[in-house]
Structure 1
């Protein structure tokens, strides 16, 4: 029999727990599962033996998420293949406006570069202000070691975060040139637009939900981006992150978000492309509060 008082207390905390799980996992579907598992464990535990319900729920949810992240990590990186999707359908102005307001990249791809413990520590401490003393038992480290781990994760995030050219119009011109070259299959123009050490990072896919894929070098990246040619007509240039000024592309066949591509443009050439192509990841990005803005 369900303890109604306990259920009410849990429901009051569900939004925060789901927000935490979404940031940790980058997937609303997995976040739902993690929150539900936390509720089941709470039912088994009972409230009578819990002194601090908020702390207990955060710890249990974090452990559930950590196990999911570790399981995902064992799958490793895969070779980048073409994105699967429906035939492109041009979206009207109203659909474009709704799309721009509802989809956000929110550094999900950058967070996926962290190890499970690093990601958990970084999100718990830097996003949710959970003390190191509470994070440490979850990842089996001392508070001092946890502080060092989070500091290392923070440096990685800063190192991977896009640092674009200050000139937004120049960024947009490069991205539009990229779309045009991809659409027309102009391979040499694509290579010309890339920095020699450009890196293409992609997360997810309609059929490979948790795949992490990386391609490096101008010519290999140009080969890979030619697979987006069929989707170019449904692509729209947007400001992915107003805070950093990162320009990107939302691909939306029929007006439904299919993928988001964030471009790092340095000295007029593309040095990095981060692709988010997973339905759950795209949905989870709304929870971060970093909306994509129209240009």
Structure 2
């Protein structure tokens, strides 16, 4: 009996050693492992969205698109009020915020059917990446006759993108569920987004600020992606994200020395300020 127990010890020690080695390797290579898992999950979401779209089904989380007037009235909001948008790639979500009083309120969150590429900014023409950053949309960016139903141009490259020699053009938010560097919303969803966007511009808002993020900019998510080579850029985006979360007013966004410079806006702002190269006076 004693001999049998003694023979078990080497086996147990070997198993513990293997487990420790696996744990050590997992810890050492976790950033790469996490990135691979994330890529697979994103691919699975895109495949699921395409399957639902192809079957004529609405994506999970789609609001009641047949009842926009009642939904607006229930929130004491109306078409023509200034709007503001946020896009989150990883979550496949576009948020529509509307101004009431001196603050913006979240009106609706729409599922994004498709975006191309991976997490990270667009760098050059042909890389099939959907852009990330801060953009503005004016009436000249609207295309009611898009081959993808309706579309609006995000305005890539903006002043920041140009400062980093990023190239590309015609990066849109549009209908359908196909994307080459764009954000595809399906026709029914883009119709509602279009209605609020065009009404705001017609109502006097000169530009609509659109903030595009790789994921929800929580510290937990930032820590998960700390080893990503884009983390420095994402920290700049986080500053703009956090400014809006704090004030519920789109911040003033400038580009200074090749970096985004974020300043809080006042309650009378509607987010119309252009994104320009401008450094604060010293």
More strand by share: 2
Which TM-score applies when normalising by structure 2? 0.31
Normalising by structure 1, we get a TM-score of: 0.30
Which one has more relative contact order, counting CA pairs under 8 Å at least 6 apart?
Answer: 1
